[in-house]
Amino acid sequence: MAKKVQTVFVCSECGHESLKWMGQCICGAWNTMTEEKVLPQEGTDKRRRTGSGGNSGAGAFSRAGKPMPLFRVKSGETGRVDTGIPEFNRVLGGGLVKGSLTLISGEPGIGKSTLLLQMCRLVSAEGTKVLYVSGEESARQIKLRAERIGKFTDDLYLFSETCIGTILQAVDEVKPEVLIVDSIQTVFEESVDAAPGSVSQVREITSILLQLAKSQNITIFIVGHVTKEGNVAGPRMLEHMVDTVLYFEGDKTAMYRMLRGVKNRFGSTNEVGVFEMQNQGLVEVPNPSEYLMQGRLPNEAGSVVACTMEGSRPFLLEVQALVCQTSFPMPRRTAVGTDYNRVNLLMAVLEKRMGVRMADCDAYVNVAGGMRVVEPALDLALVAALLSSYHNRSLQDGMLLFGEVGLVGEVRAVSQAERRVAEAIKTGYTVCVLPESNRVSIEKAGNLDTKKIKLIGVRHVRELLDCAGL
């Protein structure tokens, strides 16, 4: 007798299953329940999803082994393969890791496929066998794009396919060391009764590729599209399954792009690589602070230089503010590149603790350069920019600020202050306004030549009026 197909509803955010559709899942997400078909498993009353355990499913690459004590597990440094792109190596934590599964996502046209194709060219030139599988482009289309990038060797194999079973056969035939799947939303498993890109298909394909990477020690990259909200299309658990998650940020119409690592099991997270889109592909930007400060006009009211940390890397950037009397019943507030609510909070602190009336003022804040910064160390620069625009007075040339501001107006210490000051010294800044506790710790450590820069420690935002000339 044929097995009866049942239907369940699965949340794309948390994976919760329900026999009935729900508008709101138990995790709190709305409209995330998607329909999936399940089959009863032979010899048991438990259900299984269609596709799991098939000939081409994850079970084909199950790893044999027995539990063992911790002290018997062999440890050691994970071997790395140089991508040939230092900025890409930085975000990955030092290079490619064998047996890893990496998700790289971003808006269409941002440069995901171009970056991976450039990496394939460089690693294949060193003798590494690469298989590039595309479900969106033909091999001819990839070849045309590759010719614009440069010359390729015979160690790069192209394959246009969307069936995971056929892809696995190609892997067995080619035996690549690096596998690229572009994109995960186009690949399907025949036994899963769902369209490509659905929750069940993406989850099943990712599980198969994960087992393939671990069992055959292959470095696998999967390309994922994003929704209009900026999240990876498909189940949220996709980010939990992979080893590394990389996001391409920036406006696709602009020349600069940022590759951010939001998850990395083999290195530090939140590392950022900066690239410039040119005719021959993506070109590295070795000194991001220099390009972020391009076009800044000195001695302009409302313009302040801040130092922020992205992973272990300091960035210098310009914070701009425009404060003016409103002509509307309700003042307008806009924040680009930083948290809107944080800007409103800091304006309330200025009004309450310093008597600066901003309730009847429009305020526009912008982080120049296209970066988005949410760390609290930006607070002091935001306050200085607002005060500078409000009083129409510019800060002295060569001044840099960083520090966290609390609700009572106190300036709190931030992490990695020594690296921030070192970056300021390297780029030629002569004055640095920072939390007093950070100043004391830097001078006590004695690792920096403070003769090249004047450190001004502040305990309260009121002290900005004197030290910054506001």
> For residue range 251-260, what is the model confidence (pLDDT) as tens digits?
656 677 889 8
pTM: 0.77
Residue 259, domain extent: 79-286
If asked whether residues 282 and 296 sit together in one domain, one would say no
If asked whether residues 102 and 203 sit together in one domain, one would say yes
Domain boundary among 286, 311, 339: 286
In a domain, 141, yes or no: yes
Average pLDDT over residues 258-272: 87
Residue 4 has pLDDT above 90, yes or no: no
Total domains in the chain come to 3
Q: What percent of the chain has pLDDT over 90?
A: 48
Helix, strand, coil percentages (3-state) for the chain, rounded to 5, are 30, 30, 40
Domain boundary among 286, 302, 324: 286
- CB 413, CB 451: distance < 8 Å: no
- φ, ψ of residue 288 to 5 degrees: the values are -60, -35
If asked whether residues 258 and 359 sit together in one domain, one would say no
In a domain, 64, yes or no: no
- Residue 421's nearest CA partner among 407, 406, 435, 405 is 435
If asked whether residues 189 and 244 sit together in one domain, one would say yes
**For residue 310, what are the β-bridge partners?**
313
If asked whether residues 398 and 276 sit together in one domain, one would say no
Residue 304 has pLDDT above 80, yes or no: yes
If asked whether residues 87 and 41 sit together in one domain, one would say no
In a domain, 213, yes or no: yes
DSSP string, 413-445: --TTHHHHHHHHHHTT--EEEEEHHHHHHHHHH
> Which CATH number goes with the domain that contains 373?
3.30.230.10
- CB 13, CB 25: distance < 8 Å: yes
The model's pLDDT over 204-251, given as tens digits with 9 standing for 90+, comes to 899 999 999 999 999 999 998 776 555 665 556 788 889 999 998 876
Average pLDDT over residues 441-459: 91
Domain boundary among 286, 303, 329: 286
**For residue 315, what are the β-bridge partners?**
308
Task: Give the start-end residues of each E strand in 235-349.
Answer: 244-249, 256-264, 272-278, 281-284, 303-310, 313-325, 333-336
The model's pLDDT over 152-197, given as tens digits with 9 standing for 90+, comes to 888 999 999 999 999 999 999 999 999 999 989 899 998 887 788 8
In a domain, 67, yes or no: no
The model's pLDDT over 365-420, given as tens digits with 9 standing for 90+, comes to 999 877 888 899 999 999 999 999 999 999 988 999 999 999 999 999 999 999 99
> Which CATH number goes with the domain that contains 108?
3.40.50.300
If asked whether residues 127 and 240 sit together in one domain, one would say yes
If asked whether residues 353 and 446 sit together in one domain, one would say yes
CA distance 339 to 135: 37
Long-range contacts of 288-296 (CB under 8 A, 24+ apart): 288/313, 288/315, 289/314, 289/315, 289/316, 289/317, 289/423, 289/427, 290/427, 291/256, 291/369, 292/316, 292/317, 292/318, 292/368, 292/369, 292/371, 293/317, 293/318, 293/369, 295/368, 296/368
The mean pLDDT of the chain is: 85
If asked whether residues 329 and 256 sit together in one domain, one would say no
If asked whether residues 86 and 233 sit together in one domain, one would say yes
Residue 120 has pLDDT above 80, yes or no: yes
